[in-house]
Structure formats: C-alpha cells, structure tokens
C-alpha cells in the first residue's frame, strides 16, 4: 500500500468486532499503509469529518491485545442507510471528495448485511466514476445471518456466552421448589434468524439437560401450543426453561412482543426494536397456569460479553480484518471476505472473497432441517455446526479483578450528544 486506508464499524456491536479492527490495522501497517484512519460512528461520522488516526490509539502490542479483548465498536457505530446513487448523488460526491482529501486508497467496512449495502453502493459509484479507491467488506454480526460465509465473526463468542448463560440459568432454576413449578423464558437476539437462539442447545451435556424448548423466528409461533407444551412438561418436572428468539411471530407474521408493551422505535433500516417477548410470555403463562415465571432478556449482554469469548472467533475476526486489507491491496473492490469451513474435525477454516452484491441485504436463515419436526428444538446437525466455533478462550487481561479494555478515543468517551433530527 502506498497511501492511506480508512476503516469503519457499523451496525450492532459484537465482542469480536475490535479483533477485526486490530487485524485491519496490523495488516495495513505491515503492507505499508501510511495512515490508518478510523471513521467515528461509521459512514455517518465520516460525512461529518469525524475520524481518528488509529496509530494514536494502538501504539504497542499490549494495546493491540487489549483491543482484541474490548467489546463494542471501538470506533463507535451507526445504523445509516446510504441513499441510492440516483436518490442523492451529492452525498457520494461528498464522501469521495473526503476520501481524496485524506488520500485514501482503500475503504474497509466491518459490518453486517446492511453495512455491506454501503460497500456495494460505494464500490458501484467508484466504478461508474472511474475512482481508484477500493471498497471491501469485513463480515461481522452476532446474528450469523450473512450470506455466502460459513459463519460470521462475533457469532461464536455470542453463542458461547448464550450456551454458558443458559446452562447457569437451568442450574439455578432447579434450586427452589414452587407449588406449581417455575417457568423461565429466556429471550435471545436475532430478528429473523435463529442462529443465536439455537445456540442455547449448547448448554446440553452430561451435566445439563439443556433447555426444554427452543423457538426460532423462522417458524411461526403458536402461543396455545406453547402453553400446552409447558403445562405438560410441568406435570413431569418442577422447572421448565424455554429459549425464544426476540423475533418470534405468529402465523400472520405479527411479532409476539407486539402483543406486549413494545416500544415504537424504528431504526434507519425500518427495523422495529424488538424487546419484551419473554416478559409478555412469562405473564401469559403465569396467568394461564398460575405458576411462578421468570423472564430473562439476554439483550446487550450477549453481544458485549468479552469475558467469555471464543478463541476461534476472536482469531478468525482478526484474520478476516487482515484478509480485507489484503483484498483491497491486491486491487479488488466490491467484495466481502467470507469464512470457508474446510473441515469440522479437526476444525479448519480459511478465507475467500465474494461479490458483495450477492451478500448485501440478503439473510441466511437456519435451514428447516436443522430444527425438529415440531419446531421446538434444534437438531444435532445444528449443534455440530456451532460447536467448533465456540472453542478455546481468550482470557481477559484483568486489572483489579475486572477485565481491562482499551481506552476509547477521547472523541467518543466524552458525553457528546449528536444533533437531533427535528420532528
Ligand atoms: O444486528 C445485531 C442485533 O444485535 C440484532 O440481533 C438485534 O435485533 C439488533 O442488533 C438490536 O439492535 P439495537 O441494539 O440497535 O436495538
């Protein structure tokens, strides 16, 4: 590389997203990049000329190791939908003028399917205008729903946390005895894809039966059938634990959480904020059966738990960051790095690059055959697929008994409030 590169993070954070950033930084420097810029809050921040020089933050090997162990997007994130070229050409002119001003030869974006839409549009614009800057996507999402890649960095660590937490919840649920039993409902993220919810099955082993029921968003949810199953289970056991996706919907496509007290927040991509499904179902079951219930929403914890990450995941996240830079340095654009599984046992995985047009805005769902006939649990194939991704640990660097993270850029650590849109 002869000039500068810029990297951004976008969409929901993960516990591995900064390992990709570390991979981008190291590889760019090794390949001769002069300055590695980090856009603050993704493309939205770049549009306001908010960026940093990463060498001011990653000065030593220790900084790099801390970054790999720091959850949430170090650079800040955004959910920003870049308008189409024909909708607003001025925004493209502005971005490319900025890239020219900063002498940027490669633009790397770490994100999920919405973020790949940004890479797609920017690389298309560069082709149309003959601009030499290359645009490459680096996969990230706990949801594991990106097309053409075996899995996404961030998923393995979230799956490990979810499997671990589920096991702990099940243990706890058997301690006390209640007259009519206890029903615990655990709500897991993943709007349309059940990869995370299915990972609750990882709790199952010699020392744990695993959850009793698992409901993915891919399969319509029947609340009466759910109640009947819970009631039947309670006649045999004193505690029932059900894992449900935040995105479960009834046969008409209405989110179950919409039947409760859902907030009305909708993001730039038109996604409704999903929350409260477990609380709604716990109330419903308590009302119907009269037993004690508990609702647990794993929420932010499942994507920010850097104290229980998967070593495989963190190292792969770093690897895809490096591969994205290599791809751009070799002259490719409009591509995303994918993980290609070579074998399960021993687990081996490599990287390739694929056309981002075939990935942006697509969603990879859990195959129907990886869920049982009744739609109430995942199959062995599902568990065999996930298990290699949660192996190994990345021990936190502990200071005073608490994991240490890399100090945030001062531009982000200050309590700054962005300009609010007028209603
Ligand atoms: O994109 C990842 C994700 O964690 C989804 O699983 C979830 O639906 C969404 O982000 C939640 O986003 P937010 O934190 O913006 O509510």
In the prediction, which pLDDT does 306 show? 96
Q: What is the pLDDT of residues 203-234, one digit of tens each?
A: 999 999 999 999 999 999 999 999 999 999 99
Give the residue, out of 11, 12, 13, 276, with the most ligand 1 atoms within 8 A of its beta carbon, to mutate for a pocket test: 12
**DSSP label at residue 249:** B
Question: Would 4-153+307-362+392-411 and 158-304 be classified into the same CATH topology?
Answer: yes
Q: H or E segment at 213?
A: strand 213-215
Greater confidence (422 vs 310) lies with 310
**Number of Cβ atoms within 10 Å of the Cβ of 238:** 15
User: What is the mean predicted confidence (pLDDT) over 60-74?
Assistant: 97
**Nearest C-alpha to atom 13 of ligand 1 is from which residue?**
12
| Residue 267 appears among annotated catalytic residues | no
Tokens of 8: 């951004």
Q: What is the pLDDT of residues 226-239, one digit of tens each?
A: 999 999 999 999 99
Sheet strands (E) in 93-204: 104-111, 134-139, 182-188
- Ordered by start, the domain boundaries in the chain are 4-153+307-362+392-411, 158-304
In the prediction, which pLDDT does 273 show? 75
Q: What is the pLDDT of residues 10-40, one digit of tens each?
A: 999 999 999 999 999 999 999 999 999 999 9
User: What is the mean predicted confidence (pLDDT) over 278-307?
Assistant: 97
| Ligand 1 atom showing the smallest separation from residue 265 Cα | 16
User: For residues 134 and 331, is the Cβ–Cβ distance under 8 A?
Assistant: yes
User: What is the mean predicted confidence (pLDDT) over 35-50?
Assistant: 97
In the prediction, which pLDDT does 55 show? 97
User: For residues 71 and 306, is the Cβ–Cβ distance under 8 A?
Assistant: yes
| Ligand 1 atom showing the smallest separation from residue 191 Cα | 8
The arrangement of secondary structure in 4-153+307-362+392-411, i.e. its CATH architecture, is: 3-Layer(aba) Sandwich (3.40)
Q: H or E segment at 239?
A: strand 239-245
Catalytic residue among 143, 145, 313, 329, which?
Answer: 143
Beta bridge partners of residue 135, listed in sequence order: 107
User: For residues 215 and 366, is the Cβ–Cβ distance under 8 A?
Assistant: no
Tokens of 347: 């687990």
**pLDDT tier at 260, thresholds 50, 70, 90:** confident
In the prediction, which pLDDT does 275 show? 83
Lowest mean pLDDT among 149-163, 170-184, 248-262: 248-262
User: For residues 276 and 257, is the Cβ–Cβ distance under 8 A?
Assistant: yes
Q: What is the pLDDT of residues 365-419, one digit of tens each?
A: 999 999 999 999 999 999 999 999 999 999 999 999 999 999 999 888 655 666 6
Given a cut of 80, whether residue 267 has pLDDT beyond it is: no
Rg (CA), the chain: 22
Given a cut of 80, whether residue 420 has pLDDT beyond it is: no
Tokens of 204: 């199952």
Residues constituting the chain: 423
Q: Is 3.40.50.460 the CATH number for 158-304?
A: yes
């Amino acid at each position: 590389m002869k000039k500068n590169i810029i990297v951004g993070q976008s969409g929901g954070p993960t516990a591995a997203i900064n390992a990709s950033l570390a991979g981008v930084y190291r590889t760019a420097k090794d390949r001769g990049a002069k300055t590695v810029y980090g856009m603050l809050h993704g493309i939205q921040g770049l549009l306001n000329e908010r960026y940093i020089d990463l060498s001011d933050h990653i000065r030593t090997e220790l900084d790099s190791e801390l970054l790999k162990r720091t959850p949430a997007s170090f650079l800040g994130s955004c959910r920003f939908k870049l308008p189409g070229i024909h909708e607003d050409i001025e925004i493209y002119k502005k971005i490319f003028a900025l890239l020219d001003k900063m002498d940027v030869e490669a633009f790397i974006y770490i994100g999920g399917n919405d973020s790949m839409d940004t890479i797609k549009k920017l690389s298309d614009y560069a082709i149309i205008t003959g601009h030499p800057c290359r645009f490459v996507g680096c996969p990230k999402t706990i949801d594991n729903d990106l097309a053409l890649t075996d899995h996404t960095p961030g998923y393995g660590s979230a799956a490990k946390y979810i499997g671990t937490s589920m096991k702990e919840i099940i243990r706890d649920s058997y301690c006390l005895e209640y007259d009519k039993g206890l029903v615990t409902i655990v709500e897991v993220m993943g709007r349309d894809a059940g990869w995370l919810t299915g990972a609750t099955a990882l709790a199952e082993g010699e020392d744990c039966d695993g959850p009793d029921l698992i409901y993915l968003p891919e399969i319509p949810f029947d609340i009466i059938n759910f109640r009947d199953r819970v009631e039947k289970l309670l006649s045999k056991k004193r505690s029932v634990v059900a894992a449900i996706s935040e995105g479960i919907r009834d046969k008409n496509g209405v989110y179950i959480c919409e039947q409760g007290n859902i907030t009305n927040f909708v993001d730039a991509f038109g996604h409704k904020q999903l929350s409260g499904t477990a609380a709604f179902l716990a109330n419903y079951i308590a009302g119907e059966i009269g037993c004690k219930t508990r609702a647990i929403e794993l929420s932010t914890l499942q994507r920010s738990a850097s104290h229980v990450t998967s070593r495989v995941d963190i190292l792969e996240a770093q690897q895809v960051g490096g591969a994205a830079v290599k791809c751009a340095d070799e002259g490719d654009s409009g591509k995303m790095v994918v993980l290609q599984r070579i074998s399960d046992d021993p687990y081996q995985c490599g990287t390739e690059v694929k056309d981002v047009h075939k990935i942006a805005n697509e969603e990879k769902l859990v195959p129907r055959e990886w869920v049982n006939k009744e739609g109430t649990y995942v199959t062995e194939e599902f568990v065999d697929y996930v298990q290699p991704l949660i192996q190994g640990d990345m021990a936190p660097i502990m200071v005073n008994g608490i994991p240490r993270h890399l100090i945030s850029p001062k531009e982000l650590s200050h309590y700054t409030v962005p300009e609010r849109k007028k209603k």
